[in-house]
Structure 1
Amino acid sequence: MTRRIALSVGALVVALLVLAVVPLGISITDREHDSFREETAARARAVASAAEEHLSDNKPDQEAAEQVANAGQHGDCALVYDRHGTLILSTACQDSALPPSAAADVLRDGRPQTGQNGDRLTMALPIGDTNPPAGVLIYSRPTDSLDQQLLTVWGWLTLCALGALGAALFVANRLARWVGQPLVALDGAAARLGEGDLGARATVTNGPPEVRRLAATFNAMAARTENLIHGHRAVIADVSHQLRTPLTALRLRLDLLAADAEGDTAQELAGAQEEIARLSRMVDGLLAVARAENAVPRQTSVRLDRVVADRIAAWEPVAEEREIGFTARGPAGLTASVGPGDLEQLLDNLFANALEAAPAGGRVEIRTRRDPEGAGVELAVVDHGPGMDAAARERAFRRFDTGRESGTGLGLAIVHRLVTANGGRATLEETPGGGLTVRLSLPAGPAETRPFRRERRPQRGERSAEKSGERGSEKSSGPAADGDAQNTP
């Protein structure tokens, strides 16, 4: 901004200087030309007057010779002709800017002539007031002194213009810094706050009063935002502690009762255990949604192909148990700019939904590409399950919007809020042939040139152990294993 203001003021000053200095220079130049011409004419008339006394009054030519010699001493050229065109007096130099016939023309019609050729101004004047005149004076003067004077004038004008321009640029630069530096500090504080630094404040002690008031308003807003987010985080921590602890204790008591129960009592206790597990997942889901709504992510660059491969490896035991396969397609090296762990949480929720919806023997497709509508990247999770109708897709990102008893309706709500918090967007589309496609558009991160080393995939024996651990985590972790309902068309 400082440079733009300085350049704008400089351009304005240059235009004003051109409009003021150039006409002034032209006016001074014309005045100097007129003064030089008048001075030359005065010198020529003095020589002509002395020559007239000799030619008309028959006086000695001593005075006329002195005037001609004086003209020669000044570097001028003077030629005196009588009425017959005979040269009677002259200086050593005989340069003239007029044609050789100029003397004869003046003798014939009695009118003076003036001409300038190169570096000389020449005048042809009739001698005497009679017609035809008593003689002719050809007086020539070099214009070196005039050129030097004009050069000096234009030099001073240029120097004054450059000085005025320099002073204007200096003042404009100081003014721009006075206005711009507080705005730069305010912009930096806003950027840090947007990146998640809740303690970011703008330190503005100078600048225009409007900018200082803006900085004070920003600091007050940042302080209120920090207090609100810290308050929400405290509520989340309290809820997490106050709800999870009694739910865990209740589940343990039900487990102890179920161990000795038989018949109808065992069935009722099993149902109660399922409701407790569902309530635990719902609490975890609510906490995840609250964190997504209140967190300000510090975005980092992550490789899509690496995270997708990692989450596929984690969910493969669950997919194999349900006879569902994964297919990942997309160019290597695509990076997204998201908060730490956000992409993993997005994929966990989308995989849980897709595995709940996909039929046995089906496949879940993960497609990545550069966003054709912008500078971001696009990730799509495609299943071929029952899908959702248009009305269900419109409300799918709302909390608790589920069409079956086993789901909590929080998975897609978490996805939507995480994507939005990272500056992206999430859309739901119908899969051609049936099913649901969840398409995420995320900000692109800087390109990564390091080669991707794929992690070793677990063997069959290892998967069985991992499967049991994964299933155990499904029961306790809501967002990672909670699927939103996909309504039958």
Structure 2
Amino acid sequence: MTRRLLLTYLSIAALVLLCLEIPLGFVYSRAERDRMISAAQEEAASLSAFAELSLAAGREDEDLPRRVTECAGRIGGQIAVIDRSGSLIAASHPLSAREARELLGRPDVAAALNGTGSADVRTSRIGGMRYLSVAAPVGHATPPEAAVRISVPTDTVHGRVHRVWLLLVLAGLAVLAVVAGFAFAVARWAARPVHELQRATVRLADGSLPGPVTVTDGPPEIRSLAATFNQTAARLEHLLASQRAFAAEASHQLKTPLAALRLRLDNLEPAVAPSGRASLTAALTETDRLARLVEGLLAMAGPEERAVTRDVVDPERVCAERHRTWAPVFEQRQVLLVLAGERTGPVLALPGALEQILDNLLSNALSHSPPGSTVTIRLRGRHASERRRAAADGRASFVDLHVIDQGPGMTEEQRLRAFDRFWRAPGAPKGGTGLGLALVQRLAHAGGGHAALRAASPGGLDAVVSLPCAGPDRSLSPPSASLRQATARR
């Protein structure tokens, strides 16, 4: 906002300066030219009168050349007095007879000898230099017996005009510099309330609820916006507090009755007739499923109700630890759990989120993997070319976590719906809640990443979770020690 205000002030100042200085420069240029023409006309008229007196007194060879030379030196030009026959009467510089006759062909001299006016002004370029010439008739006879021609180079006038233009430009730049300093101070003052609101909004987006924003200066619109922001932040804080209280109360109020119900069903087992044991087993199964459903809902509410503060996590260590935990479970189901991958470096994730993501993905993979198949945990960093493209586009670099099974897989339509809450694929094993993949996606998004399901080759499902890198990417390096040790233990 400061830059926009500063640019606006400078644009207005520049427009005003242009509207003032450009006409001023043109007015000065025209005034200088008019002054030069007037001075040349006055000199021509004065010299014409003197030449008339000298010709009448017969002293054109004595006084007139001296007067012509003095006048030419004063004005810095050239003067010639020529009669109607082309004979040179007097000149401030040497002229040959041919050059004197050529003066008769000049439009200004011809006009003066014809007696069409008291003076004729012409502008010509001779030898690459521009000249202003003035010719005046000598005497009042018609036609006059001689003419005076004065030619003055215009470089001096142009030099003065150029200096004035340069001074106008420098003055304009100086004014713009002063306006820039003043405008910057005004823009900072005007944008200070907006910057305070921006900082409060950033803190709110990061999950730390700011206190009320105090805005006592600035435009009325900014003060109104600050008041609205304070109301919104207070309402959001109240909603989050209510949600946290609900999660805590639900955790206590639901877990205890479910545990008591499970205990009563277990104690009821000896008293149940053989014909009712199937119903009792179904009740126990549904109770366990309800308990897992409550745990899943509370887990999904966790990332929403707490501040989204990401930690730096080592995915290699987490994968190796979860491999050690789950390997015996897979072995009991006659499924091989393999850990492979590359050195990727740390990633950003919510505290404990990567462990929950792996647990849910491995649980799903185990429930869909037939005996004798293999489930693979693989870490993969982005290639150098992909990292360079991401850096050039201003995007973050990611580390991909794959959990690949050899189960029946899913169709494309099923993969698109798999992250919906409570959705379960047709033919899925009983006892699931339909919240596992939804929780994976929620945890990945909360950490700044994303999750996706792809078809594995030659069959099965490839669950991919991408998390942003937290430091220098070490992709495509040799496998880390944790991955090598975990692989060796297989």
TM-score by length of 1: 0.74
Deviates more, 1:132-141 or 1:406-415: 132-141
Tell me by how many angstroms 1:302 deviates.
3.6
Instruction: Work out whether residues 108 and 132 of structure 1, in 8 Å CA contact, stay in contact via their aligned partners in 2.
Output: no
SS of equivalent to 1:74? helix
In structure 1, what is the equivalent of residue 402 of structure 2?
Answer: 380
Deviations 1:273-303 (A, max 9, x none): 7666555434332321221343342124445
Deviations 1:3-33 (A, max 9, x none): 3443465456546644653354234313321
In structure 2, what is the equivalent of residue 314 of structure 1?
Answer: 325
Aligned partners of 1:95 and 1:17: how far apart in 2? 50
| AA aligned opposite 1:184 | H
Determine which of 478, 481, 486 is the counterpart of 1:454: 481
> For structure 2, which runs of at least 5 residues remain unmatched after alignment?
115-119
Deviations 1:26-48 (A, max 9, x none): 34313321321121121111111
Distance 1:311 1:176, change over 3 A: farther
In structure 2, what is the equivalent of residue 40 of structure 1?
Answer: 40
| AA aligned opposite 2:403 | V
| AA aligned opposite 1:413 | A
In structure 1, what is the equivalent of residue 433 of structure 2?
Answer: 408
Distance 1:217 1:13, change over 3 A: same
Deviations 1:357-401 (A, max 9, x none): 211221113344549897563433222224456776565445455
Instruction: Work out whether residues 367 and 429 of structure 2, in 8 Å CA contact, stay in contact via their aligned partners in 1.
Output: no
In structure 1, what is the equivalent of residue 220 of structure 2?
Answer: 209
Aligned partners of 2:433 and 2:135: how far apart in 1? 113
In structure 2, what is the equivalent of residue 150 of structure 1?
Answer: 161
Deviations 1:193-243 (A, max 9, x none): 222213365454433332332232222222222222122222222233344
Aligned partners of 2:252 and 2:339: how far apart in 1? 39
Determine which of 262, 265, 284 is the counterpart of 2:295: 284
User: How many equivalent pairs are there?
Assistant: 459
In structure 2, what is the equivalent of residue 26 of structure 1?
Answer: 26
| AA aligned opposite 2:231 | A
Distance 1:233 1:457, change over 3 A: farther
Instruction: Work out whether residues 55 and 82 of structure 1, in 8 Å CA contact, stay in contact via their aligned partners in 2.
Output: no
Aligned partners of 1:90 and 1:400: how far apart in 2? 112
Deviates more, 1:98-107 or 1:149-158: 98-107
Report whether the alignment pairs 1:165 with 2:203. Answer: no
Aligned partners of 2:337 and 2:14: how far apart in 1? 68
Aligned partners of 1:28 and 1:439: how far apart in 2? 75
Tell me by how many angstroms 1:50 deviates.
1.2
Aligned partners of 2:418 and 2:162: how far apart in 1? 82
Aligned partners of 2:190 and 2:345: how far apart in 1? 41
Deviates more, 1:112-121 or 1:248-257: 248-257
SS of equivalent to 2:372? coil
Aligned partners of 2:412 and 2:151: how far apart in 1? 101
Report whether the alignment pairs 1:337 with 2:364. Answer: no
In structure 2, what is the equivalent of residue 6 of structure 1?
Answer: 6
Aligned ranges 1:209-358 → 2 under 5 Å: 209-245=220-256, 271=281, 278-328=289-339, 330-333=341-344, 336-358=347-369
> For structure 1, which runs of at least 5 residues remain unmatched after alignment?
464-489
In structure 1, what is the equivalent of residue 451 of structure 2?
Answer: 426
Distance 1:60 1:19, change over 3 A: closer
Tell me by how many angstroms 1:429 deviates.
4.5
SS of equivalent to 2:309? coil
Aligned ranges 1:174-213 → 2 under 5 Å: 174=185, 176-199=187-210, 202-213=213-224
Aligned partners of 2:12 and 2:319: how far apart in 1? 57
SS of equivalent to 2:481? coil
Instruction: Work out whether residues 56 and 134 of structure 1, in 8 Å CA contact, stay in contact via their aligned partners in 2.
Output: no
Aligned partners of 1:101 and 1:366: how far apart in 2? 107
% same residue: 36
Report whether the alignment pairs 1:360 with 2:342. Answer: no
Aligned partners of 2:369 and 2:88: how far apart in 1? 122
Instruction: Work out whether residues 388 and 436 of structure 1, in 8 Å CA contact, stay in contact via their aligned partners in 2.
Output: yes
Distance 1:347 1:48, change over 3 A: same
Aligned partners of 1:200 and 1:350: how far apart in 2? 40
Aligned partners of 2:216 and 2:442: how far apart in 1? 38
Distance 1:59 1:269, change over 3 A: closer
Distance 1:263 1:83, change over 3 A: closer
SS of equivalent to 1:326? strand
Distance 1:78 1:435, change over 3 A: closer
SS of equivalent to 1:137? strand
Distance 1:157 1:395, change over 3 A: closer
Distance 1:273 1:89, change over 3 A: closer
Aligned partners of 2:361 and 2:252: how far apart in 1? 27
| AA aligned opposite 1:358 | S
Deviations 1:236-269 (A, max 9, x none): 22233344456557767888999x999979x799
Deviates more, 1:8-17 or 1:186-195: 8-17
Instruction: Work out whether residues 51 and 60 of structure 2, in 8 Å CA contact, stay in contact via their aligned partners in 1.
Output: no
In structure 1, what is the equivalent of residue 117 of structure 2?
Answer: none
